[in-house]
Amino acid sequence: MSSNRQSCCHQCRTKDAEAVSQLVKEWKLDGMWAKAFSLLPRLYGGREVLTLAREKLPELSAVSAALDELQAVCDAFPKSKSAYRFVGTAR
């Protein structure tokens, strides 16, 4: 994994929104990509986060597929908080 990708993954896992925003500026991302990366550190929590992610992230097939998989995990464990922790730490 490249150091840029590792850095972004680390900043998202640690929920460091400011650091991710700085990476977005360094990478000169704009439009939907800048918005998407800037949102990632804020998308942690329960099922409500999946709804928010569907509303805010770009409508791309890979994004939709990932959200569908996370929804399936939550649906498989409807009363388990561990499923939510899994969602928040997925790589």
Q: Is residue 81 very low, low, confident or very high in pLDDT (cuts 50, 70, 90)?
A: low
What is the average pLDDT score of the chain? 80
Within 1-91, strands assigned E span none
Query: Can you give the pLDDT at residue 38?
Result: 85
Rounded to whole angstroms, the Cα distance separating 73 from 86 reads 9
CA dihedral 52, 55, 11, 86 (to 10 degrees): 50
Region 4-17 average pLDDT = 76
Rounded to whole angstroms, the Cα distance separating 69 from 77 reads 13
Query: Can you give the pLDDT at residue 47?
Result: 80
